[in-house]
Amino acid sequence: GAADKLASSVGLKQVPLYKSTRGWAGENGKGVDFETVVRMGLGYDGGLMVPTFFPQVSRSTLESWYGLSFQNLAYEVISLYVPNSQVSPEELRGIINRSYSGFRHEEVTPVIRTGAEGKGPKILELFHGPTFAFKDVALQFLGNLFEHFISRVEGDKITVLGATSGDTGSSAIYGLRGKKGVDVFILFPEGRVSSIQERQMTTVLDENVHCVAVQGTFDD
């Protein structure tokens, strides 16, 4: 629209708002901002929150991203969805760097070439995070994002309540442990998670982490 053209002409970044997959799009029906959607988790109608539009990049931009480190590529992609007024470019780079500094592989999520002379299928490895689960890639970032938003308002807090069948709980705990202003409560079905997953959750001693074993199954 006209607003998009004007913003583009003066070099302003257009970022999407967010709406629920079930239709909810905020009080005005146009979507909610990035910080609000990060804090709320699911939409008020129970749907997943998704962008109102997907920013487009040119072929030349895609080609310029080839060979970037994981951290620099993550910045280029994530910055398309985050307004500078809520997370500045410098803050976003810092959040990304902190989030992936603890991964065991220097490439964070390396692509392994298989077969003779590396000509076989390529495999993306997502198990180099602290709990070996692919969800570490998202939840290490989310924990630092929570801390960023909370730090801007004195006394601000976020309480995270999660239910897990095993890997999500561990990833959430390791992403949120020790974060100022964040309390996390994880419920898991007693006797129905693997022993290593249970130990990953119940041996974290940070005061903001609370694990609760409940009877029944994850779907109850």
Secondary structure class of 202 (helix, strand, coil): helix
pLDDT above 70 coverage of the chain, percent: 95
Q: Which of 13, 30, 119, 135 is catalytic?
A: 135
Q: Give yes or no: 180 in active site.
A: no
pLDDT tens digits for 33-55?
999 999 998 999 999 999 999 99
User: Which of the residue ranges 60-69, 96-105, 122-131, 187-196 would you say has the lowest mean pLDDT?
Assistant: 187-196
| Predicted local confidence at residue 5, as pLDDT | 46
